Structure 1
Amino acid sequence: MRTRITRRVVTSRAGGVSLPPYDSFNLGDHVGDDPAAVASNRERLAQQIGVAPDRMVWMEQIHGRNVEIVTGPVDEPVPATDALVTTVLDLALVVLTADCVPILLSDDEAGVIAAVHAGRIGARIGIVPRVLDVMVECGAELGRIHSFLGPAASGRQYEVPAHMQADVESRLPGSATTTVRGTPGLDLREGIRRQLVAAGTAGQVEDPRCTIEDRTLFSHRRGAPTGRQASVIWMHTSEVP
């Protein structure tokens, strides 16, 4: 019997060919790195996860709330979008981050998955509720959607002006926090987690790593210019005895 399996992967800085300050497994093609190095790193990622390079789907992320349904391989990054949804097997959806929150969503029973880029602006204007709506349109049920929130800037380190904190908190309750320096901060993962709970989704798993603190990860706030790590989700079938 064949069964459908959902896979998720998060990369780190290690294992690529990019030179400083993008060393070494930079997967972002918009940060000033050598395009040949980025292409090599992207091909290496595809090989490592067992997905054909032409079935990796990338985004032109713009900190918005646009969601795109992907029905097959694409030749170029999907333009001007911050979330991808698919029901297609062996199609890997990729989100790039270096402090923003990468979110990987799946309704395994319905066979609907999504990859979401949720930075301060996108989270504030509702990228998460929007992508949940699109997943439901594709056959998912909120009560079956599981969420993975990847490494991101933590509330311990993500310092913002007080007026910005108040503005985001008014739109994303639970995100306001205090940093280790006693200054106003944002914990976007916590705000998003509460949003997912309030929507009635099935459960959330968080990678607790802070990109600003963990030097095995890329962080734009810690040191720009820098590279981008990838969070990837895809479905494939496997033989089960």
Structure 2
Amino acid sequence: MASLSRYRAEGGVTLLADTCAAGGVTFAFTERAGGVSKAPFTGLNLGDRCGDDPAAVAENRRRALAAIGASGCAQRLVSPHQVHGDNVVIVREATGAGYAQAVFEACSGADAVVCTASDVPVLMCFADCVPVVICAPGGFSVVHSGWRGSIARICQKAAGVLASETGCAPSDLMAYVGPCIGGVDYEVSSQLIGDFVREFGAGVCVGVPERRKLSLSYAVACALTDAGVTRGNLAFVGVSTAASTDRFYSYRAEKGTCGRHAALAVMSTSPAPVWEPLDNV
């Protein structure tokens, strides 16, 4: 059963995670707490393309990787250039030509990484788009699903690749949908809401279609269940980033100038990190 709880790691880094994720995967969705960035990026900004001081971003990333027990393999970090597409990069090796090729492909543009190698952390950044981590026995995927990726069903594609690479059944996958903009806060064009209704059904609308309120998390859930992920193995944060800028970054609510929280994961050979449980998700 997939579920998400809130934790505090060393240094005050606050995380949403499942300590019972499949396959020995340690993953987390980060919050703003515990970082060194100054306004307007205040907190644990992990994005290196939003205008923040590079030294602050580097320290924030060091803290985030330490929080998931990946300090010893931080030099192997894979952090793709996100392009709002549906390209999936596969990392099968922690060293050598295979690893170098995967890093090259990620830097060329990708919005999902499937990793079956130990000690290779993966990090993606968000500020309203949907972060997704999919765990399997022997691997994981980190996915960035904005509206373009959602309608292209990038999560369904990533889940299929992960199942194939690990040799597991889709029903063995555990999927976690992180903090993103909620439908009540996400008004889109009539054309876009119509496209999503045709792809995912009327449930993708919050209220009536005329309100043009789009639930990206609903679309992502449809894509994941269509890939074979069972409802019991699907967990949601259920917090809108646009309504919770004290905890998360929101491109829409902060008018385009903000930092980025992250989804990050690793299959580490180091001891599992120790986190302090917090009360609320």
Deviation at 1:40, TM superposition (A): 1.3
The equivalent residue for 1:116 is 143
- Counterparts of 1:140 and 1:4, CA distance in 2: 11
Number of the residue aligned with 1:231: 263
* 1:178/1:32 CA distance change after superposition, 3 Å: farther
Q: 3-state SS of the aligned residue for 2:26?
A: strand
Offset from partner CA, 1:209-238 (integer Å, 9 cap, x none)? 110001211000001210000111222358
TM-score scaled by length of structure 2: 0.77
Say if 2:132 is the partner of 1:103: yes
3-state SS, counterpart of residue 250 of structure 2: coil
User: What residue is the counterpart of 1:90 in the other structure?
Assistant: 119
SS for the counterpart of 1:121 is helix
The corresponding residue for 1:50 is 69
1:36-67 alpha-carbon deviations (Å, 9 max, x no partner): 11111111212222203213321110000000
Is it true that 1:126 corresponds to 2:153 in the alignment?
yes
Match of 1:207 in 2: 237
Q: 1:192 aligns with which of 220, 239, 256?
A: 220
Compute the RMSD of aligned alpha carbons: 2.2
State the distance in 2 between where 1:37 and 1:206 align: 30
Match of 1:15 among 21, 34, 50: 34
> Taking every aligned residue pair, what percent have the same amino acid on both sides?
32
Q: Distance in 1 between matches of 2:238 and 2:197?
A: 21
Q: Does the C-alpha gap of structure 1 residues 4 and 172 become closer, same or farther in structure 2, counting only changes over 3 Å? A: closer
1:62 is the counterpart of 2:83: yes
Aligned residue for 2:243, secondary structure, equals coil
Aligned partner of 2:195: which letter? D
Q: Which runs of 5+ in 1 are unaligned?
A: none
Match of 1:176 in 2: 205
Aligned residues: 233
How far is the alpha carbon of 1:134 from its aligned partner? 1.5
Distance 1:217 1:107, change over 3 A: same
Which among 90, 104, 107 is matched to residue 78 of structure 1? 107
Aligned partners of 1:18 and 1:24 also within 8 Å: yes
2:197 counterpart SS class: helix
Distance 1:4 1:129 in 2: 20
TM-score by length of 1: 0.89
Distance apart, 1:185 and its partner CA: 0.8
Normalized per residue, the structure richer in helix is 2
Shift in Å at residue 16 of structure 1?
A: 1.1
Aligned counterparts of 1:67 and 1:166: Cα–Cα separation in 2: 27
Contact 2:174 2:229 in 1 (8 A): yes
SS at match of 1:38: helix
Task: Rate the CA distance shift 1:26–1:161 in 2: closer, same or farther, 3 A.
Answer: same
1:86 Cα deviation from its structure 2 partner: 1.0
- Cα distance in 1, alignment partners of residues 197 and 80 from structure 2: 27
**Cα distance per residue 1:177-234 (max 9 Å; x no partner):** 239xx83111011111122223221320001111000121100000121000011122
Distance 1:186 1:4, change over 3 A: closer
Q: Measure the CA separation in 2 of the matches of 1:160 and 1:51.
A: 38
The one of 179, 188, 204 equivalent to 1:160 is 188
Equivalent residue number for residue 172 of structure 2? 144
3-state SS of paired residue (2:220)? helix
- Structure 2: gaps of 5 or more residues: 1-21, 272-281
Is 228-237 or 117-126 further displaced after alignment? 228-237
Runs of 4+ displaced beyond 4 Å: 73-77
Counterpart residue type for residue 113 of structure 2: L
